[in-house]
């Protein structure tokens, strides 16, 4: 057996043994046993504070997990990532999203070729375009300034920009930004409703400019513009694509096509011209601050030792739960309404990146991979799925996010929001023992029979883990750092599992079959299908 493989297997064995011991104790007990627990398991990075002390590992377990990271080669893999080496093996590409947010003068190379100069040139193009639109210097076909943008894309071409806009948009924006991703015509119809075509930019984001959903929506939006403005309406089309010839053939003016490179994965692309709509609607200075926050997390991830590295420790906490303790689901609950899309964003980032059953070389994986992620904004989630988190049969680890300073509204409400976030983390871990419940019910004068009936219902077993991430403010810098934190966490997990976190072949089969079925629904010859699929097609053709 290869020596390195043997070392990794041994490290996994030690993690399994540590997790076995963790099952036999309560998280709460570790605070008394480990006086330096908080010091070791809380850290600050790029404007974020992380508290991992309510995770089920002891400090000795943490050392075991760090040993796994070293055996798996996380440090060497990190160096290859930042060096622009090919880390997406199935597609033969680097994954260099860090270059997109690096400060001016950086020297990133993708597979040995310099990329920083073209990144900076595209940024300059974005800045000039954003400034011209916002100032009114760039006008629509009929000479009117732009008041709205409709951003058309799907997956990574939609979720990142949509999250950024929801998180940072002004209460009364100068330019309204709307999104259409789903091929369901209702979404685009809602996006266009109430807008004046003469004052609307349509930004089409597609790496290949062949994505079915995106082009379908783009064609409808282009027809909407042309119906009002004639052929001159194409001047209000903008494209972000790695296929500029296809974008121009669609009608986009050449100077309104923005570059997108194959060394940028879609779900890592919001930092590029994919974020152009946000750069215009929020102002380019705000977009630059977002990039700066992500770049600060990049520097931390690249340089901090593993034991004090925020993405590494967050990844190890998740792996300890997912693999060591067999917990395949994780909840993400931001106590910030503006971050209500964060769980949806992470569903793509984590589950598309690491939802793999084969390793980077095509062999079967040795360990379960990505957890399923779900969540919603707190306190809304408390009135929905927190019943399961507290008293369900499965233990679901939770990432809790909170913001110290309010973004909008009454500061007193922000304190109530923070109180809920902190209390939920405590309640998940501490719980409420049945003896305490019985004593309280007895003090209220309930009978023994009533206590016997109610006490089990009001008992909380606790011992449910959580991570707590605190942002001083929900500003562009912290938001950028938060997203980059999870990007790098996903990468570390991929290294531990030995998978390629940057391809996504699992999304292809359904798209291929959809094209075939579409032809049949439109009157083409019937193809070979299973009986259920054939019956559905026949029913819809009738």
DSSP 85: -
Q: Are strands 200-205 and 176-180 parallel, antiparallel or unpaired?
A: unpaired
Omega of the bond prior to 394 within 30 degrees of 0, cis?
A: no
From the list 352, 477, 493, 520, the catalytic residue is 352
Euclidean distance between CA atoms 493 and 497, whole angstroms: 6
Q: Give residues with Cβ within 8 angstroms of 257, minimum separation 6.
A: 238, 239, 240, 241, 244, 247, 248
Contact 374, 329 (CB under 8 A): yes
Q: Residue 43 gets which letter from DSSP?
A: E
Which residues have CB under 8 Å from 5's CB, separation 6+?
none
Give the chain's count of helices (H) and strands (E).
Answer: 23, 13
Q: Are 82 and 94 in contact (CB under 8 A)?
A: no
Tallying the residues shown for the chain, one arrives at: 542
Residue 529 annotated to the active site:
no
Q: Which residues contact 288 (CB under 8 A, 6 or more apart)?
A: none
Alpha helices in 84-155 (DSSP H): 97-100, 116-135
CB 121 within 8 A of CB 99: no
Say if CB 270 and CB 23 are below 8 A apart: no
User: Is 466 in a helix, a strand, or coil?
Assistant: strand
CA distance 279 to 262: 22
Instruction: Verify whether residue 361 is a known catalytic residue.
Output: no
Token pair for residue 63? 């050392």
C-alpha separations of 18 from 21, 59, 64, 302 in Å: 5, 11, 8, 28
The tokens for 531 are 């009986």
415 catalytic? Reply is no
Long-range contacts, stretch 96-99, CB < 8 angstroms, 24+ apart: 96/263, 96/264, 97/264, 97/265, 97/268, 97/269, 97/271, 97/272, 97/487, 98/295, 98/298
Q: How far apart, in whole angstroms, are the C-alpha atoms of residue 296 and residue 480?
A: 9
Tokens of 319: 């792996």
Q: What is the DSSP string of 336-352?
A: -GGGTTHHHHHIIIIII
DSSP 201-257: EEEEE-SSS--HHHHHHHHHHHHHHHHHHGGGGGGGEEEEES-HHHHHHHT--GGGE
Q: Are 55 and 317 within 8 A, CB to CB?
A: yes
* Residues labelled catalytic: 352, 383, 511
């Amino acid at each position: 057996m290869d020596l390195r493989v043997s070392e990794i297997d041994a490290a996994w064995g030690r993690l399994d043994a540590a997790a076995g011991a963790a099952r036999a104790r309560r998280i709460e007990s570790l605070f008394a046993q480990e006086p330096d627990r908080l010091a070791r398991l809380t850290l600050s990075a790029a404007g974020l504070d992380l508290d991992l002390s309510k995770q089920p590992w002891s400090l000795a377990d943490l050392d075991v997990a760090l040993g796994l990271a070293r055996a798996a080669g996380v440090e060497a893999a990190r160096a290859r990532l930042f060096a622009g080496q090919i880390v997406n093996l199935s597609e033969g590409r680097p994954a260099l999203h860090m270059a997109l947010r690096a400060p001016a003068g950086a020297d990133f190379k993708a597979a040995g070729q310099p990329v920083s100069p073209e990144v900076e040139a595209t940024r300059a193009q974005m800045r000039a375009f954003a400034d011209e639109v916002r100032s009114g210097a760039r006008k629509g076909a009929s000479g009117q300034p732009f008041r709205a943008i409709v951003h058309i894309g799907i997956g990574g071409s939609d979720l990142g920009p949509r999250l950024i806009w929801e998180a940072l948009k002004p209460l009364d924006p100068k330019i309204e930004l709307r999104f259409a991703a789903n091929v369901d015509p209702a979404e685009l119809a809602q996006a266009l409703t109430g807008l004046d075509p003469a004052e609307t930019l349509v930004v089409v984001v597609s790496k290949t400019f062949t994505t079915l959903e995106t082009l379908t929506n783009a064609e409808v939006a282009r027809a909407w513009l042309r119906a009002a403005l004639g052929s001159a309406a194409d001047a209000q089309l903008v494209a972000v694509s790695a296929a500029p010839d296809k974008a121009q053939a669609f009608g986009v003016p050449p100077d309104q096509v923005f570059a997108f490179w194959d060394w940028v994965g879609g779900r890592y692309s919001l930092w590029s011209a994919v974020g152009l709509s946000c750069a215009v609607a929020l102002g380019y200075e705000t977009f630059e601050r977002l990039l700066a926050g992500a770049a600060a997390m990049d520097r931390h991830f690249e340089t901090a030792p593993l034991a004090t590295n925020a993405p590494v420790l967050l990844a190890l906490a998740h792996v300890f739960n997912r693999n060591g303790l067999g917990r395949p689901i994780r909840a993400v609950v931001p106590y910030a309404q503006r971050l209500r899309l964060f769980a949806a964003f992470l569903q793509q980032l984590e589950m598309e990146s690491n939802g793999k059953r084969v390793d980077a070389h095509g062999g079967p994986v040795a360990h379960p991979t990505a957890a399923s992620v779900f969540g919603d904004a707190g306190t809304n989630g408390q009135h929905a799925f927190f019943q399961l988190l507290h008293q369900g049969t499965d233990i679901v680890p939770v990432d809790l996010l909170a913001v110290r300073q309010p973004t909008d509204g009454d500061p007193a409400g922000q304190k109530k929001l923070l109180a809920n976030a902190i209390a939920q983390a405590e309640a998940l871990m501490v719980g409420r023992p049945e003896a305490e419940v019985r004593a309280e019910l007895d003090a209220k004068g309930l009978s023994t029979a009533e206590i016997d009936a109610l006490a089990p219902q009001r008992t909380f077993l606790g011992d449910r883990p959580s991570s707590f991430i605190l942002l001083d403010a929900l500003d562009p810098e912290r938001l950028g750092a938060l997203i980059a934190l999870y990007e790098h966490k996903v990468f570390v997990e991929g290294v531990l599992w030995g998978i390629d976190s940057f391809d996504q072949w699992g999304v292809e089969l359904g798209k291929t079959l959809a094209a075939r079925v579409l032809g049949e629904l439109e009157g083409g010859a019937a193809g070979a299908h299973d009986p259920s699929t054939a019956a559905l097609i026949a029913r819809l053709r009738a």
